[in-house]
Structure 1
Amino acid sequence: MECSDDLQRMDIDMIHRFLSEESSWAKGIPLETLKRGMEHSLCFGGWSDGRQIAFARVISDQASFAYLLDVFVLPEFQGHGYSKQLLEFVLRHPALQGLRRFVLVSSNARGLYQQFGFQALGKPETYMEIHRPALYQP
């Protein structure tokens, strides 16, 4: 798989279709919301035979903090190590080196992320959130 962080290469239609229709975390996300989020994030894609099959993005100040989100490999390409290749590419990105904290939220791929050093929150009682899980639902 070939990986890139070139925003211009991203297949926004495929990304939007997957996130809005198949993901559990961004179901119904409006296209304009996704585009705005991508414009203000580091975006990463994976391609096989010229077709984008994977995506991830990182929100970061590029100095001390980053949040990894929207990570996926299209279902028909899962099970071939592409998620690991994409994560390796993301974590090697020059703008994401020397960070004090790198976080993510995952309910179903914790084993994958643990292979890259992510672990459960050390002090979960210190984290707070405003969470609107059905924000994009009518």
Structure 2
Amino acid sequence: MMSSLDRDYELDDDPARLDRDAVWAFLSEHVYWGRWRSRADLERQIDSAWRVVGAYERASGRQVGFARAISDGVSLAYLADVYVLPEHRGRGLGVALVHAMIEEGEGARFRWALHTNDAHSLYERFGFAKPDDTYLERPLRRG
């Protein structure tokens, strides 16, 4: 899948195209949710992902956004590590990344889950809501 946003950006779900150094740099230095991970942890997460989608600046080919999902490939998926570089925000790239991941392809029929502290309005556009009384979760244990 190679999706065109506008003349300045494109999305691609080819894992070989990812700039893993750029993903590591952003996730290890600029986000609240993943600083506890090592580079090896992130590499394993990318390698075992059901799908990854990158956002790329068309002129330079530079990766400016990312999203990752894990899934059983049948009915359930978890959306993770969605980001857009600050200087490229406000152009719809976050919406496009989420749309490509959960609305295009096999994932459109899945039940999706995610965790976020600060992007509720983005995900609510795609039907994400607080879980009902049937949902239970065991929190992450560190250390």
TM-score w.r.t. the length of structure 2 is 0.85
**CA contact 1:21–1:28 (8 Å) conserved in 2:** no
TM superposition shift of 1:28: 4.4
| 1:126–1:87 CA distance, 2 compared to 1 (3 A) | closer
Amino acid of the residue matched to residue 55 of structure 2?
G
TM superposition shift of 1:32: 1.3
**CA contact 1:73–1:83 (8 Å) conserved in 2:** yes
SS at structure 2 position matched to 1:97: helix
C-alpha distance in structure 2 between counterparts of 1:13 and 1:37, whole Å: 14
For residues 87-106 of structure 1, what are the structure 2 equivalents within 5 Å? 87-99=98-110, 101-106=111-116
C-alpha distance in structure 2 between counterparts of 1:16 and 1:28, whole Å: 12
> Of the two structures, which has the highest relative contact order with CA contacts closer than 8 Å and spacing of 6 or more?
1
Q: What is the percentage of aligned positions where both structures have the same residue?
A: 34
Structure 1, unmatched stretches of 5+, are none
Matched, 1:77 2:88: yes
SS at structure 1 position matched to 2:109: coil
Return the match for 1:4 from 12, 24, 42.
Answer: 12
C-alpha distance in structure 1 between counterparts of 2:98 and 2:114, whole Å: 12
SS at structure 2 position matched to 1:69: strand
Extract structure 1 runs of 4+ deviating beyond 4 A: none
The count of aligned residue pairs is 132
Structure 2, unmatched stretches of 5+, are 1-8
TM superposition shift of 1:126: 3.6
After superposition, give the CA deviation of every residue in 1:4-50 in whole Å (9 maximum; x if it has no partner). Answer: 11000001001001111111011142111111110111111001131
For residues 1-138 of structure 1, what are the structure 2 equivalents within 5 Å? 1-41=9-49, 42-48=51-57, 49=59, 50-99=61-110, 101-123=111-133, 126-132=135-141
TM-score w.r.t. the length of structure 1 is 0.88
